[in-house]
Copies of this chain bind each other. A is one copy, B any other.
Amino acid sequence: MNTPEVEKILRGEPRAVARAISTVEDGAAGASALMKAVFPHTGRGLVVGITGSPGAGKSTLVDKLASLYRQRGERVGIVAVDPSSPFSGGAILGDRIRMQTLGLDPGVFIRSMATRGNLGGLARATVDAVAILDAAGYQKIIVETVGVGQDEVEIVKTADVSVVVLVPGMGDDIQAIKAGIMEIGDVFVINKADRDGVLRTEKELEALLSLAHRPDMWTPPIVKTVATESKGIEELALAVESYQEFQKGAEGARTRRAAVAHWRLLELLRERLLARALEAEGARAKLEALASEVADKRRDPYTAVEEFINSGAGGDVGGD
């Protein structure tokens, strides 16, 4: 039996979806029950992860791809993972610009996810948000992440199709970056393809891809786009579909799903264990006192953490 709130999510009511995402983002008490109810209804939408360096024009590309899907009559969810302001905790990129073009369309749901304090859980919250949109009947869910950080890479790996966006001649360490993101890209985009150096970037990328040994033997296509002029977007959608088709029959697909599930469980476990440890009576005060001692060099962090765990403030995980 689903609660009325879950029924609203499954009917795709935007306000219920928004509330649900806030719940998982805050790690609120209801998150667990909510996700248990939502989970059986997932797996119908296609999750497209889009990543690349700042300045690659990812946001515009995402908007244009979303518009294309809308023209085809599909409902689209967009989840933007923002590097957040380290002090204020607020999101940076926001949905400000985006809302002007897509925000009035009821068939598009847009949400920014930002770092949520010390407990971590951004990656877990993002994956949960995607699952909610999936259960709510969005046929395409686009997850956009900025940068090449650890969490960002993990998030993109959970997508059904991962798109890596490059631009011509980005700088002298582009080679290094390419080498790193090469392995997570199922589809590559060279955006701003009206700029100088496109051919060179394309040749370099082809060379790098030819060296890669993907376990699934897929050769990632390279799509050239000028997102600001809506050029190449159809081709991008086609490349995404071709990988989706390929995946259906691929042996590697199950392995990939299992790896993603394993990662999700570890993320969730990490978060849960820490939350439980900090929930214990006096735990936060104890940690604060220990942090103060570490700051004054009266104690080293390792001894402090051992003391915290052994004091029982860490909680009896197995017992309740």
Contact = CB atoms under 8 A, between A and B. Distances in A.
A104 to B, nearest CB: 22
Chain A, interface size category, equals 35 or more
Given A54-B173, A59-B173, A149-B151, A294 B315 contact: no
Contacts of A147: 53, 147-149, 152
Interface string A56-99: 11111000000000000000000000111111100011000000
Contacts of A301: 35, 39, 261, 264-265, 268
Interface string A243-284: 000000000001001101111111011101110110000000
Nearest to A263: B118
Contacts of A287: 262, 265-266, 269
B308 A318 contact: no
Interface in A296-314: 297, 300-306, 308-310, 312, 314
A170 interface: yes
A317 interface: yes
A240 interface: no
Contact of A318 (B43, B84, B309): B309
A264 B303 CA distance: 12
Given A87-B183, A183-B86, A301-B39, A295 B56 contact: no
A180 interface: yes
B93 A122 contact: no
Contacts of A295: 254, 257-258, 260-261
Contacts of A314: 269, 273, 317-318
Contacts of A316: 316-319
A154 B302 CA distance: 19
Contacts of A42: 297
B305 A179 contact: no
Interface in A132-189: 146-154, 157, 167, 170-174, 176-177, 179-180, 183-184
A55 interface: yes
Interface string A106-137: 00000000010010101000000000000000
Given A262-B291, A269-B314, 5 more contacts: A54-B171, A54-B176, A55-B173, A57-B173, A86-B157
7 contacts: A149-B149, A264-B294, A265-B301, A265-B308, A268-B302, A269-B305, A273-B273
